[in-house]
A and B are shown apart, each in its own frame.
Chain A
Amino acid sequence: GAGVSQTPSNKVTEKGKYVELRCDPISGHTALYWYRQSLGQGPEFLIYFQGTGAADDSGLPNDRFFAVRPEGSVSTLKIQRTERGDSAVYLCASSLRIAGGPTDTQYFGPGTRLTVL
């Protein structure tokens, strides 16, 4: 596609529920990243994938958060037993490669705003 897309754009859920957030990266981009942006803050790294494997998941806050990228393209961020503190905008980004000059420039999607009531 022309850019990174994320669905849904907004998600409202109740505390304790399970949610899935989807990211479609730019076609051909091998690297995919998830960030969380709380109100008034810059994005914070959660996890990134090189191909199908999670190359670095050190930013995931706890074991309620999990992400997959089974075919090396679309990725899903999964949050179990949601808490009010999970409310934030979840951003996805992709890059052609993970390193190598301009090819590592990350292009961001519009994000999913998650609200946990």
Chain B
Amino acid sequence: AQTVTQSQPEMSVQEAETVTLSCTYDTSESDYYLFWYKQPPSRQMILVIRQEAYKQQNATENRFSVNFQKAAKSFSLKISDSQLGDAAMYFCAYRSAGTGNQFYFGTGTSLTVIP
């Protein structure tokens, strides 16, 4: 089974600054998808950004961007111009592109934004 590792249980960032959350994964597959989800105290998981493994270009969504290093099996999330509303748990997730559609999630990183 695939494993996803988030080695930073907690991170903090000053408002308006930039922070990077780390994620590594282990897989023998060549085609897959990677995701970052945000989970605020309301518990609802919100999709932040998605990356297809076959795409070399790093995905970006407004203030959120990823650094996808396929050979290193690394998928970090960069949040620029951090806002108070960015405070939440962030989960990295892996999904195979083949049969079997389940997500494998990391253990999460709790992000605090300091005003």
Contacts and interface: CB of A to CB of B under 8 A. Distances in A.
Interface of A: 31, 33, 35, 40-45, 48, 55-56, 59, 89, 91, 93, 98-99, 101-102, 104-111, 113
Contacts of A41: 107-108
Nearest to A111: B43
B51 to A, nearest CB: 12
B28 interface: no
B114 interface: no
B101 A108 contact: no
Interface in B97-111: 97, 100-108
B44 interface: yes
Interface of B: 4, 33, 37, 42-47, 50, 52, 91, 93, 95, 97, 100-108
Contacts of B43: 89, 91, 110-111, 113
B103 A45 contact: yes
Contacts of A33: 101-103
B47 A107 contact: yes
A91 B4 CA distance: 19
A9 to B, nearest CB: 9
Nearest to B43: A111
Nearest to A55: B101
A42 B102 contact: no
Given A45-B104, A104-B33, A106-B47, 16 more contacts: A35-B103, A40-B108, A41-B107, A42-B106, A42-B107, A45-B103, A56-B100, A56-B101, A89-B43, A91-B45, A98-B101, A102-B50, A104-B95, A105-B47, A109-B44, A111-B44
A52 to B, nearest CB: 16
Contact of B103 (A43, A98, A101): A43
